[in-house]
Amino acid sequence: MQAMVSARYGAPDVFELAEVPAPTVAAGEVLVQVTASTVTYGDRRVRAADFPGIGWLPGRLMMGLLRPKHRVQGTVYAGRVRAVGPQVTAFSVGQRVFGLCDAGAYAQQLRVSADSAIAPTPAGLSDAEAAAVPYGAVTAHHFLATLGGVTAGQRVLIVGAVGGVGRFAVQIARHLGAEVTAVCRPAHAAAARALGAERIYPTVEQALRAPGPAYDVIFDTPGVARFGACRRALTATGRFLTLSLSVGILWHMARTCRRPQRAIFGVSMGGAAGLQAVCALIEQGALRPVVHATLPLAELPAAHALAARTGSLGSVVVTVPVEGSASAAP
- Region of residue 20 (left: phi > 0; alpha: psi -120 to 50; beta: else): beta
Contact 4, 56 (CB under 8 A): no
Contact 34, 108 (CB under 8 A): yes
Contact 96, 126 (CB under 8 A): no
Tell me the pLDDT of the chain (330 aa) as tens digits.
999 999 998 999 999 999 999 999 999 999 999 999 999 988 988 897 777 766 766 767 677 666 888 899 999 999 999 999 999 999 999 999 999 999 999 999 999 999 999 999 999 999 999 999 999 999 999 999 999 999 999 999 999 999 999 999 999 999 999 999 999 999 999 999 999 999 999 999 999 999 999 999 999 999 999 999 999 999 999 999 999 888 899 999 999 999 999 999 988 767 899 999 999 999 999 999 999 999 999 999 999 999 988 766 799 999 999 875 444 443
- Largest Cα separation within the chain, whole Å, is 65
pLDDT of amino acid 313: 77
pLDDT of amino acid 6: 95
Alpha-carbon span 236 to 289, nearest angstrom: 34
pLDDT of amino acid 61: 67
Strand ranges across the sheet with 199-201: 199-201, 179-183, 155-159, 215-220, 234-242, 262-265
With vertex at residue 156, the alpha carbon angle to CA 155 and CA 161, rounded to the nearest 5 degrees, is: 145
Contact 69, 63 (CB under 8 A): yes
pLDDT of amino acid 311: 65
> How many alpha carbons lie under 13 Å from residue 28 in its C-beta half-sphere?
3
pTM of the model: 0.91
Instruction: Give the 3-state DSSP-derived string for 204-237, with helices as H, strands as E and coil as C.
Output: HHHHHHCCCCCEEEEEECCCCCCHHHHHHHEEEE
pLDDT of amino acid 56: 61
CA distance readout (Å), 244 to 70, 225, 289: 24, 10, 23
